Structure 1
Amino acid sequence: MNDFTRWIDLEGAVNVRDLGGLATVDGGTTRFGRVFRSDNLQGLTARDVELLVGELKLRHVIDLRSGPEVSLEGPGPLTAVPEVSIHHLTLFAEGGKHTDVEADTIEGDKVLPWQERVEEDLAELRVTGFYYGYLRDRPDSVMAALRAMAHDDGAAIVHCAAGKDRTGVVTALALEVAGVTREAIVADYAATAERLEGILARLRASSTYRDDLDSRPADDHRPRPEYMEQFLHVLDERFGGPLPWLASHGWTESDSQILRSRLRD
């Protein structure tokens, strides 16, 4: 890990950083070495695995990719490491045999986070933003992801394809539970822009993502602070904040205390 930043430099992933060092509302900071966030991990090298598992004591991987993404891209080398537990928790409502809808064949336009949704979703998503759709569709996965991040037997890493949208939503909720300031949550989300060129290059190397990425300007994929601000605003307006939303889906004060103890100094 770079001593001067939260970035973790790997050979097989580019958007990897520690959730430590973020300011909390009570004047503290989050702990380093407890939870990391990342883009896809199937390209990790043996040296990367040694750094993550041997040096950083990684023990839990929260994989937010859809079932088809895992099938098309592969699960990655960490699945072969006995010390590491893989938690595959898609944020899509996977209803078919292979996809996140009823279809029985792999269809890329129904599994990628930036693609258009079916028409009946659009009115709601225009109001709430696409990120709220993850919570609406898969609150079970959100709860499970946060609880997996709270395990105390080593570090955890949460990732999707780019490490931006799905990962951004789950880590924002975790940081909210930990009492991180909204300013710091939004800044952490937007930090992915620093690695956007490398992220897009990695995704374009895969046929799973290439066509969609090439159909849109690179700037369309930039994580803008207002996107996360809108997501948090929706939760504030509709539920009184992220914590009441979590509570409405079974999250308890005990859950919050455990996750806070993992993330707080």
Structure 2
Amino acid sequence: MNARSRWIDLDGAVNVRDLGGLPTSDGRTTRRGRVLRSDNLQDLTVTDIRTLLDDYELKNVIDLRSDAEVRLEGPGPLTRTPSITLHHLSLFSEGGRHTDVAADTVDVDKVLPWQNRPDAETENDRSIGHYLGYLRDRADSIVAALRVMTRTDGSALVHCAAGKDRTGVVCALALDVAGVTREAIVADYAQTGERIEAVLGRLRSSDTYAADLDSRPADSHLPHAAIMEKFLTRIDEEHGGALAWLTANGWTEEDAAALRARLLD
């Protein structure tokens, strides 16, 4: 990782960065090398894995993709790394646990179940609707993901396909609990925009994602800061903030203390 940047340059993933170095409202900063965020890890090279193991002591991977995505993409190289524990925590409703037949199919529109919205709705509102859907449908996965981040056996890495939406929501909630400023949380979310072309290029090379990407307006893929700002405002207005929402879904004071101890200097 460049000392002046939080980006982590790997050959097999393009949207990888460290959640360290972010300011909190009480003047502290988040620790580097504790929680990383990324796009899909299917193409990691041997050198990439070595970097994650040696430089970041990677121990836990939080995979937010759907069951269908994992089946279609196949096992990634980290599944063959004994020292790493994979935690599959989908943010979509899944067949067998929730009543969602979409999870039992392999159609692309079911792998990434973008809801049909009125034409008058903006792309930003569409994204916010998806994000609120994660909270509504898979609070269990979000709480579990944040608890993995509290583990002290090396770093944790959270990812989905692009490392933008599902990963962005989970990271934003974790950073909010840690006390990171709203401005910094939003900026971290928007930072994916610096590499969005490379992210989309990777996804278009996969049959799992190509049709879905090409069916949507180009601007809909950009992580506009206003999306995260409005999403967090909706949580404030409807739930009393991220911590209150988490608490209502089983998160405890001990969990919050452990996450802060893990992430903060």
Aligned mates of 1:209, 1:128 — CA distance in 2:
20
Unaligned runs of 5+ in 1: none
Aligned mates of 1:218, 1:127 — CA distance in 2:
14
Q: Is 1:106 aligned to 2:106, yes or no?
A: yes
Contact 1:109 1:116 in 2 (8 A): no
> Counterparts in 2 of 1:60-75, with a 5 A limit?
60-75=60-75
Cα shift readout 1:55-108 (whole Å, capped 9, x = no counterpart) = 2100000000000000011231111111100000000111259x9821543122
- Which AA in structure 1 matches 2:89? L
Aligned mates of 1:209, 1:235 — CA distance in 2:
29
Q: Is 1:237 aligned to 2:237, yes or no?
A: yes
- Across the aligned residues of Structure 1 and Structure 2, the Cα RMSD in angstroms comes to 2.0
Aligned mates of 2:127, 2:159 — CA distance in 1:
26
Unaligned runs of 5+ in 2: none
Residue 132 of structure 1 corresponds to 132
Aligned mates of 2:250, 2:137 — CA distance in 1:
16
Cα shift readout 1:166-204 (whole Å, capped 9, x = no counterpart) = 000000000011100000000000000000010000000
Aligned mates of 2:47, 2:117 — CA distance in 1:
42
Aligned mates of 1:182, 1:230 — CA distance in 2:
11
Q: Is 1:116 aligned to 2:118, yes or no?
A: no
Contact 1:110 1:117 in 2 (8 A): no
SS at match of 1:164: coil
Q: Is 1:216 aligned to 2:221, yes or no?
A: no
- Which AA in structure 2 matches 1:28? R
Q: Normalization by structure 2: what TM-score?
A: 0.93
- Which AA in structure 1 matches 2:14? V
**Aligned pair in 2 of structure 1 residues 148, 117: CA closer, same or farther (>3 Å)?**
farther
Aligned mates of 2:132, 2:82 — CA distance in 1:
35
Residue 146 of structure 1 corresponds to 146
> Counterparts in 2 of 1:1-265, with a 5 A limit?
1-95=1-95, 101-103=100-102, 104-112=104-112, 115-116=114-115, 129-265=129-265
Give aligned-pair identity as a percent.
63
Aligned mates of 1:189, 1:250 — CA distance in 2:
25
SS at match of 1:41: coil
Cα shift readout 1:190-227 (whole Å, capped 9, x = no counterpart) = 00000001000000000001011122343220000111
Contact 1:164 1:189 in 2 (8 A): yes
- Which AA in structure 2 matches 1:101? D
- In the TM superposition, residue 36 of structure 1 has moved relative to its aligned partner by 0.3
Q: Normalization by structure 1: what TM-score?
A: 0.93
SS at match of 1:260: helix
Aligned mates of 1:246, 1:109 — CA distance in 2:
29
Aligned mates of 1:185, 1:127 — CA distance in 2:
17
- Give the total of aligned pairs: 259
Contact 1:100 1:110 in 2 (8 A): no
SS at match of 2:37: strand
SS at match of 2:95: coil
Aligned mates of 1:19, 1:128 — CA distance in 2:
22
- Which AA in structure 2 matches 1:197? E
